[in-house]
């Protein structure tokens, strides 16, 4: 029997209020003042450079520099050790690592420009009001799933019906405007109301930017792992 998700929430009151943008890692260095091993990261978002402190140290710093990441810009700054962390870089649990040690999210394809916003809503340059993480982000059931089947749809003609395995949370259907996704790891919100898209019912809202899905940097991240 599949594990129950968090209570159903409204997309406009949760995900659409998050300013999640794509940035490029410019500098990645160990942060010795952090209570647990962490990196101090400088991230280029196109119109600004911001700093984040995060637990991504299972990835070598040299391999992270230059990579694209997804970060929440409107939680407000927090102090970690001696550093102020301006944004939260998103990740899922690194395979077999200590709790809270993450692998970062990155676009699954090339060509996504820095500064682009994940999801629909505000234009690329529009800043969103600061929100409370516990109220908005923590109410979302965002989990990592693996695409196990891809079926072309007659309506809409350019869409596919996906089946994703979310581990203990079971299998869910989603609709995507692209083929070639079988076996990919994707992030889906599981506690929105199901949506009818053409001839299919979409039970998972997949995180994407400019039609490019987000995926963990480590390809063995835990199926069903939560986004944090």
pLDDT at 121: 54
Nearest to 3 by CA among 228, 227, 225: 225
pLDDT at 119: 82
SS3 151: strand
For 153-207, what is each residue's pLDDT tens digit?
Answer: 998 888 999 999 999 999 999 999 877 899 999 999 999 999 999 889 999 999 9
> Is it the case that residue 12 has pLDDT exceeding 80?
yes
Task: Judge contact between 104 and 217, C-beta under 8 A.
Answer: yes
Q: Rounded to whole angstroms, how far apart are CA atoms 202 and 156?
A: 13
pLDDT at 178: 79
Q: First vs last Cα of the chain: how many Å apart?
A: 25
Nearest to 218 by CA among 61, 54, 106, 89: 106
What domains, with CATH codes, occur in the chain? 18-121 (2.40.50.140)
pLDDT at 179: 76
For 194-221, what is each residue's pLDDT tens digit?
Answer: 999 988 999 999 999 988 999 999 999 9
Pair of tokens at residue 138: 């923590």
For 83-122, what is each residue's pLDDT tens digit?
Answer: 999 999 999 999 999 999 999 999 998 789 999 999 855 4
The residue count of the chain comes to 228
> Is it the case that residue 1 has pLDDT exceeding 80?
no
> Is it the case that residue 124 has pLDDT exceeding 60?
no
pLDDT at 158: 87
Report residue 25's pLDDT band, with 50, 70 and 90 as the boundaries.
Answer: very high
Nearest to 73 by CA among 109, 116, 36: 116
pLDDT at 111: 85
> Is it the case that residue 33 has pLDDT exceeding 70?
yes
pLDDT at 207: 97
Give the burial class of 201: count Cβ atoms within 10 A of its Cβ; 0-12 exposed, 13-18 middle, 19 or more buried: middle
pLDDT at 225: 97
């Amino acid at each position: 029997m599949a594990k129950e998700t968090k209570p159903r929430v409204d997309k406009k009151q949760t995900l659409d209020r998050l300013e999640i943008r794509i940035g490029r890692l410019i500098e990645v260095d160990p942060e010795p003042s952090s209570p647990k091993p962490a990196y101090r990261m400088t991230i280029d978002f196109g119109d600004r450079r911001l700093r984040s402190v995060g637990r991504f140290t299972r990835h070598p710093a040299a391999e992270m520099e230059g990579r694209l990441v997804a970060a929440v810009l409107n939680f407000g700054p927090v102090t970690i050790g001696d550093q102020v962390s301006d944004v939260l870089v998103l990740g899922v649990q690194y395979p077999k690592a200590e709790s809270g040690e993450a692998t970062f999210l990155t676009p699954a394809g090339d060509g996504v420009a820095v500064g682009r916003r994940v999801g629909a809503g505000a234009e690329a340059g529009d800043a969103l009001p600061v929100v409370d993480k516990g109220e908005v982000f923590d109410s979302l059931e965002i989990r990592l799933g693996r695409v196990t089947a891809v079926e072309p749809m007659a309506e809409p003609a350019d869409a596919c019906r996906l089946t994703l395995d979310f581990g203990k949370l079971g299998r869910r259907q989603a609709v995507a405007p692209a083929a070639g996704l079988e076996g990919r790891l994707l992030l889906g919100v599981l506690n929105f109301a199901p949506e009818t898209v053409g001839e299919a019912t979409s039970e998972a809202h997949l995180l994407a930017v400019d039609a490019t899905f987000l995926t963990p940097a480590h390809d063995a991240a835990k199926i069903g792992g939560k986004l944090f």
